[in-house]
């Protein structure tokens, strides 16, 4: 293979590895961020449940006072009833006692409902606290792991960049500029191998036979006329199946 082409392939291999490395870093960051967001949501939910619990406790306290007040009234009325002489007064107090007993029963029913509600809220609070603990634990483990590896990851990245710089210096400026531009516009591969059939593996279009022959036999820097990717012949790769296509534009080529 032409030396310049082999350097471009080499720099592309480094760039692909660097991209994979950065994506795995990003994944770790995203996981940490997701956990943090999730934790915040759980904390908000917990706050809301605590407010609900305080509210229901207040209602339970209120109904306790009501029940006590109805009980006191009933006792007092029963005492008064003993001293009453007329039927009319007796019946009136009897009615009041019944009314207060009905109110007391209503408050007791409400209290029962509040107690059930309290139990349900308490259960949810316990569950969220457990989930929050687990999330906090997981987050702390991820952060510790990340901190532990931070130095190492920095060194790995520096190693990639150092290697890249060495290779980059060996490549002609025009070629590296084209490589960078194609990479920016098309992504990987910016330098694409050409199959034995004569198809570019970047866009799977067929090269005109004459250009394909030049690529095989000469030291040429050539771009695909369809997708602009830099082309090279890679004899080490197995032949992938690809659809055949037409080529209309003229090939860009330069003698190296
Ligand atoms: Zn192409």
Sheet holding 252-255, edge to edge: 191-194, 230-233, 220-223, 252-255
19 Cα: distance to centroid of ligand 1 (angstroms): 22
Region 31-56 average pLDDT: 96
- Measure 206 CA to ligand 1 centroid, in angstroms: 8
Q: What pTM does this model have?
A: 0.68
Report how far residue 206's alpha carbon sits from residue 186's, in angstroms, rounded to the nearest whole number. 18
Give residue limits of the domains in the chain.
Answer: 20-168, 173-255
Output the CA 170–ligand 1 centroid distance in Å. Answer: 25
Q: Which of 12-21, 144-153, 207-216 has the lowest mean pLDDT?
A: 144-153
Bridge partners, 220 (sequence order): 255
**Ligand 1 centre distance from Cα of residue 164 (Å):** 25
Q: What is the pLDDT of residue 247?
A: 44
CB-neighbour burial class of residue 182 (10 A; exposed 0-12, middle 13-18, buried 19+): buried
14 CA distance to ligand 1 middle (Å): 21
Residue labelled with tokens 């409400």: 110
Digit-coded pLDDT (tens) for 87-145: 999 999 999 999 999 999 999 999 999 999 999 999 999 999 999 999 999 999 988 88
Ligand 1 center–CA 79 separation, angstroms: 104
Is pLDDT at 66 greater than 90 in this prediction?
Answer: yes
Q: What are phi and psi of 222, to 5 degrees?
A: -135, 140
Distance from Cα 199 to the centre of ligand 1, integer Å: 8
Give whole-number Cα distances, 184 to 16, 23, 127, 190, 217, in Å. Answer: 13, 17, 49, 9, 29
Distance 24 CA to ligand 1 centre (A): 29
Cα-to-centroid distance, 205 and ligand 1 (Å):
6
- The neighbouring-strand residues paired with 250 are none
Ligand 1 centre to CA of 172 (Å) is 22
Q: How many Å apart are CA 5 and CA 27, to the nearest integer?
A: 33
Q: How far apart are CA 112 and CA 60, in angstroms?
A: 9
**Predicted pLDDT of residue 245:** 47
**Range 20-168: architecture per CATH:** Orthogonal Bundle (1.10)
DSSP annotation of 237: S
Q: Residue 241 has what pLDDT? A: 52
pLDDT, one tens digit per residue, over 198-256 is 999 999 999 999 999 999 887 689 999 999 999 999 866 555 555 544 444 445 555 55
Distance in Å, CA 224 to ligand 1 centroid: 5
CA of 54 to the centre of ligand 1 (A): 68
How buried is 33 (Cβ within 10 angstroms: 0-12 exposed, 13-18 middle, 19+ buried)? exposed
> In the predicted model, what is the mean pLDDT of the chain?
91
pLDDT of residue 252: 54
Confidence of residue 23 (pLDDT cuts 50, 70, 90): very high
For the chain, where are the E strands, in sequence order? 191-194, 220-223, 230-233, 252-255
Whole-number Å distance, alpha carbon 106 to ligand 1 midpoint, is 82
Residue 17 CA to ligand 1 center (angstroms) comes to 22
| 38's tokens | 């999730």
| Cα(63)–Cα(67) distance, integer angstroms | 6
Does residue 234 or residue 12 have the better pLDDT?
12
CB atoms within 10 A of CB 166: 13
User: What is the share, in percent, of the chain residues with pLDDT greater than 90?
Assistant: 79
Tokens matching residue 233:
């012949």
């Amino acid at each position: 293979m032409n030396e310049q082409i082999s350097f471009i392939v080499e720099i592309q291999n480094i760039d692909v590895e660097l991209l994979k490395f950065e994506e795995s870093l990003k994944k770790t960051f995203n996981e940490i961020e997701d956990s943090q967001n999730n934790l915040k949501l759980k904390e908000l939910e917990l706050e809301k449940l605590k407010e609900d619990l305080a509210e229901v406790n207040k209602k339970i306290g209120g109904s306790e006072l009501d029940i006590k007040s109805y009980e006191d009234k009933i006792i007092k009325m029963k005492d008064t009833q003993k001293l009453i002489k007329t039927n009319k007064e007796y019946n009136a107090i009897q009615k009041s006692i019944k009314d207060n007993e009905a109110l007391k029963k209503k408050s007791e029913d409400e209290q029962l409902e509040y107690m059930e509600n309290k139990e349900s809220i308490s259960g949810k609070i316990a569950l969220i606290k457990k989930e929050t603990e687990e999330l906090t634990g997981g987050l702390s483990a991820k952060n510790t792991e990340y901190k532990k590896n931070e130095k190492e990851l920095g060194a790995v990245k520096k190693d990639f960049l150092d290697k890249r710089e060495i290779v980059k210096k060996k490549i002609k400026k025009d070629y590296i500029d084209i490589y960078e531009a194609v990479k920016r516009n098309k992504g990987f591969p910016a330098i694409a191998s050409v199959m034995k059939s004569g198809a570019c593996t970047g866009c799977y279009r067929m090269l005109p036979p004459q250009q394909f022959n030049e690529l095989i036999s000469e030291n040429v820097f050539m771009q695909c006329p369809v997708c602009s990717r830099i082309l090279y012949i890679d004899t080490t790769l197995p032949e992938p199946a690809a659809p055949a296509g037409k080529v209309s534009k003229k090939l860009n080529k330069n003698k190296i």
